[in-house]
Structure 1
């Protein structure tokens, strides 16, 4: 069941990025009061500004990781939660890999606008980033015997 989510979430990720390119600007637009804004950012690096300008390398790395995860999921039956986690990480890797290789940068549009100190200056992100983060959290929270590796 979770692997069915891969094409659906991947399509949604790309649709939202196209929408952001057509409708957003670098000027933040409130979505949820002062908590969440929509802000168009063209990210040429990885998260938190790492490897700036290395889109080609990061794109192939992302596509490789996403493909490897899908291969693992096709080879073995994992319990539900690890399958969901790996599927989400694959979506994120593939979604941002497509951007990096197709555009040379990743379309980011979700902007936390909170004064909470730990996340007050959090980088702008997208659905693919959310998928990677939630997938990684599910893997970390999975009981030891339920982890895929």
Structure 2
């Protein structure tokens, strides 16, 4: 890439529309769950022999990490998400729009992170509603935002392997 700065139209910032779609879909699903489902495991909706819909609160991060703390974790995780979102948006501004793989990965992470930040700021917790299980073992409940964050992170990791094998 040349030394000239990318215009907004040429940069990866063009891919932020995907982050907006993820955010809107995430919040819409969470509001639907909150308005239409009873809270807790007893109110789950059995969909498949290994999958339920349910409505639970997560006061921590992934896998309910630090959820048993006094409340400081709400702002800690919000701060981390804001910093990471800013960093990824900056990286997107330096990437050409035609570099789809990383721009999509960053947009998925940004959309999911902002969705969970919205929950933390507005509700004080993250709304989770997807429950996968095998026998009596339940994967920690999660949501669309968590899924897009994981997919985006996996894409970044895979990109590292792709570039190494191409060299």
Q: What does residue 29 of structure 1 align with?
A: 45
Q: Which residue of 1 aligns with 2:126?
A: 106
Matched, 1:72 2:69: no
Structure 2's unaligned 5+ residue stretches are: 1-13
User: Any gaps of 5 or more consecutive residues in structure 1?
Assistant: none
Scaled by the length of structure 2, what TM-score is found? 0.77
CA distance in 2, matches of 1:90, 1:48: 19
RMSD: 2.0
CA distance in 2, matches of 1:62, 1:89: 10
Give the distance between the partners of 2:24 and 2:164, measured in 1 at CA. Answer: 32
Shift of 1:60: 2.2
Between the two proteins, the alignment pairs up a number of residues equal to 142
Question: How far apart are 1:28 and its partner, in Å?
Answer: 1.5
Cα deviation for residue 76 of structure 1 reads: 2.5
Map residues 3-42 of structure 1 onto 2, 5 A cutoff.
3-25=16-38, 26=40, 27-31=43-47, 33-42=48-57
For residues 70-98 of structure 1, the C-alpha deviation after alignment (integer angstroms, 9 at most, x for no partner) is 23212332621111111111111111111
CA distance in 2, matches of 1:132, 1:95: 10
2:163 is the counterpart of 1:144? yes
The alpha-carbon deviation at position 145 of structure 1 amounts to: 5.9
Q: Residue 24 of structure 1 contacts residue 38 of structure 1 at CA under 8 Å; is this kept in 2? A: no
The residue aligned with 2:59 is 44
One of 132, 135, 140 as aligned partner of 1:123: 140
Alpha carbons of 1:70 and 1:145: their partners in 2 closer, same or farther (altered >3 Å)? farther
TM-score normalised by length of structure 1:
0.85
Aligned partner of residue 125 in structure 1, secondary structure: coil
Superposed CA offset, 1:96-129 (max 9, x none): 11111111100000111333x9xx3210000000
The answer as to 2:96 corresponding to 1:83 is no
Detail structure 1 runs of 4+ shifted over 3 Å in the superposition: none
